[in-house]
Amino acid sequence: MIEIVCNDRLGKKVRVKCNPTDTIGELKKLIAAQTGTDASKIILKKWYNIYKNHITLADYEIHDGMNLELYYS
């Protein structure tokens, strides 16, 4: 299990526990369950990289304790 921190820079900071084999889409569903927003409206970024839903966290080299930027569409 790894823990990922997602920050939307508007006062909402979410800590999510998941597996490295989970996809970004599954991570968005876990974030949506904690924040109450729709998973389809969540966008995850790191600098200029927008993460795609079908790729796993391990493929993106997302590790334990990593911070991701949380945006809403």
Question: Residue ranges per domain, the chain?
Answer: 2-72
Q: Could you name the CATH architecture of 2-72?
A: Roll (3.10)
Convert the pLDDT of each residue in 29-69 to its tens digit.
999 999 999 999 999 999 999 999 999 999 999 999 999 99
So what's the pLDDT on residue 69? 95
DSSP secondary structure letter of residue 20: T
Spatial CB neighbours of 7, under 8 Å, sequence gap ≥ 6: 13, 14, 67, 68, 69, 70
pTM over 0.95: no
So what's the pLDDT on residue 11? 87
So what's the pLDDT on residue 7? 93
Q: ∠ CA 48-50-51 to the nearest 5 degrees?
A: 140
So what's the pLDDT on residue 58? 94
